Amino acid sequence: MSIKKSKKPLHVVALSYEQGKDHAPRIIAKGQGELAEKILSIAKEHRIPVHHDTSLAEILSAFELDAFIPLEAYHAVAQILSYIYRNHPPVSIAL
């Protein structure tokens, strides 16, 4: 008899940050499973950079839409934004 391990559903969180307007990045979309796949599809269609960080996406998905990211996530998100801003024009980012 084999036991299948249950696979965690995919979590996706999209962030937006406008320098000079926002005091921190904010959550503009989030979802899991099929909704997560749809968010990723839209990001790809619009050439929005995607960074894969399962742990961070799961943490941020616990927060409400339009909420600013928590202080505990600043460092991780700042590193991601820094990389993306160096390599892409300013856009929203899906995690």
**pLDDT for the residue 40:** 95
**pLDDT for the residue 85:** 81
Q: Does the pTM exceed 0.85?
A: no
C-alpha to C-alpha distances, 31 to 5, 10, 39, 65, 79, nearest whole angstrom: 22, 8, 8, 10, 23
CA dihedral 56, 57, 58, 61 (to 10 degrees): 120
Full domain range(s) for residue 30 = 19-94
- Kindly state whether residue 34 falls inside one of the protein's structural domains: yes
**pLDDT for the residue 95:** 62
**pLDDT for the residue 24:** 94
Written as tens digits, the pLDDT of the chain (95 aa) is: 455 555 677 899 999 988 889 999 999 999 999 999 999 999 999 888 899 999 999 999 999 999 999 999 999 999 998 888 888 766 565 66
Q: What is the CATH number of the domain that holds 28?
A: 3.40.1690.10
**pLDDT for the residue 36:** 95
Length of the chain: 95
- Number of folded domains in the chain? 1
What angle (nearest 5°) sits at the alpha carbon of residue 35, between those of residues 27 and 76?
A: 35
Report strand pairing: 26-32 vs 11-16. antiparallel
| DSSP at 36 | H
- Kindly state whether residue 51 falls inside one of the protein's structural domains: yes
